[in-house]
């Protein structure tokens, strides 16, 4: 596995690979890798001749009071895991090389970014769309892999790729969960032992809602109430949002029909966790 840190070197290298006509699969990450990331890398491995993973904690997607500084980092472990999953090129740029002096260009995706996490994290998706655009221009992938875990991010990237005519196939990948149902996330490491015990309630509450839908319930309000009461059984849970939206427009719906997304964000202590479930009616 080749490790490249310089943006210019990465551009040169990817240009050469492109010339050889080999297909390139790309998995952008912020590192501190887990089985969720590994599933994306393995999928990319199965579908492309060259697999590129990036590890970059992107400062522009963090708000001023968020966890940019304390976001978990472990380069050596990430290198090992990437190699194990079948990565060919690991791109680990530093922030000053990605955002050079006088950096002043940002990508905004309107319509999909105002609600859900966008409402709670102003500027977050602008940072995401900007860094993903930059990475796409550097890596020039044929396919890029994103987790359904970050459902709004996946929708935003799909829309951006369509709107800006990127010639890249966006592949959405299933959520990988721990045995007790908690969606894997680099941020789970912030949870205290007690909070970690309570956190699987998020998945359980989503499953409960799905069961109710299967039994015939269609009123979003009732389903949201059910999720809320279930989650609030846990003493340390503080709800950030619970919403039922159309899976494509991400707009809230009153009645469950078609492709819907049940999405939530809940804090345990200082740690904000997100989870979601797509349901087709």
Residues found near ligand AMP in the complex (CB under 6 A)? 29-30, 36-37, 39-40, 146-147, 149-150, 173, 175-176, 183-186
Catalytic residue among 13, 34, 37, 124: 37
Nearer to ligand AMP, 160 or 223 (CB): 160
Question: Minimum distance between the CB of residue 79 and ligand AMP, rounded to whole angstroms?
Answer: 15
In the bound complex, which residue of the shown chain has the CB atom lying closest to ligand AMP? 147
Q: What percent of the residues of the chain are helix, what percent strand, and what percent coil, each to the nearest 5?
A: 40, 20, 35
The Cα–Cα gap between 123 and 157 comes to 15
37 is annotated as an active-site residue = yes
Asked if 250 contacts 113 with a C-beta cutoff of 8 angstroms, the reply is no
Q: Closest separation between CB of residue 37 and ligand AMP, Å? A: 5
Q: How far is it, in rounded angstroms, from Cα 220 to Cα 209?
A: 10
Choose among 196, 241, 242, 251: nearest CA to 222. Answer: 242
Alpha helices, DSSP H, located in 113-150: 116-120, 124-139
13/37 with CB nearer ligand AMP: 37
Helices (H), the chain: 7-19, 35-47, 75-85, 95-98, 116-120, 124-139, 151-163, 193-198, 201-215, 220-231
Are the CB atoms for 80 and 87 separated by under 8 Å? no
Closest distance to ligand AMP from the beta carbon of 88 (Å)? 18
Q: Are 240 and 265 a contacting pair, CB within 8 Å?
A: yes
Q: Output 224 or 261, the one with its CB closest to ligand AMP.
A: 261
Q: Pick between residue 141 and residue 223 the one whose CB is nearest to ligand AMP.
A: 141
Q: How far is the CB of 150 from ligand AMP (least distance, A)?
A: 4
Catalytic residues: 37
């Amino acid at each position: 596995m080749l490790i490249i840190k310089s943006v210019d070197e990465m551009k040169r290298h990817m240009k050469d690979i492109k010339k050889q006509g080999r297909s390139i699969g790309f998995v952008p990450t912020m590192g501190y890798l887990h089985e969720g990331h590994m599933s994306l890398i393995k999928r990319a491995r199965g579908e492309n001749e060259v697999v590129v993973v990036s590890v970059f904690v992107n400062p522009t997607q963090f708000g001023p009071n968020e966890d940019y500084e304390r976001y978990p980092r472990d380069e050596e472990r990430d290198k090992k895991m990437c190699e194990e999953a079948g990565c060919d090129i690991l791109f680990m740029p530093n922030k000053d090389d990605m955002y050079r002096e006088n950096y002043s260009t940002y990508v905004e995706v309107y319509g999909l970014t105002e609600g859900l996490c966008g409402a709670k994290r102003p500027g977050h998706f602008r940072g995401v769309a900007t860094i993903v655009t930059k990475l796409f221009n550097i890596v020039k992938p044929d396919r890029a892999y994103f987790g359904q875990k970050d459902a709004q991010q996946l929708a935003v990237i799909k829309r951006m790729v369509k709107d800006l005519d990127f010639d890249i196939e966006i592949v959405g990948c299933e959520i990988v969960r721990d045995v007790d149902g908690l969606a894997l996330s680099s941020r789970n490491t912030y949870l205290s032992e007690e909070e970690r015990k309570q956190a699987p309630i998020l998945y359980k509450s989503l499953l409960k809602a799905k069961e109710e839908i299967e039994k015939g319930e269609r009123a979003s309000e009732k389903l949201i109430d059910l999720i809320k009461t279930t989650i609030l059984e846990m003493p340390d849970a503080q709800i950030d949002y619970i919403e039922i939206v159309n899976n494509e427009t991400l707009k809230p719906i009153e009645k469950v029909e078609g492709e819907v997304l049940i999405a939530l964000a809940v804090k345990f202590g200082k740690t904000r966790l997100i989870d979601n479930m797509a349901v087709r009616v």
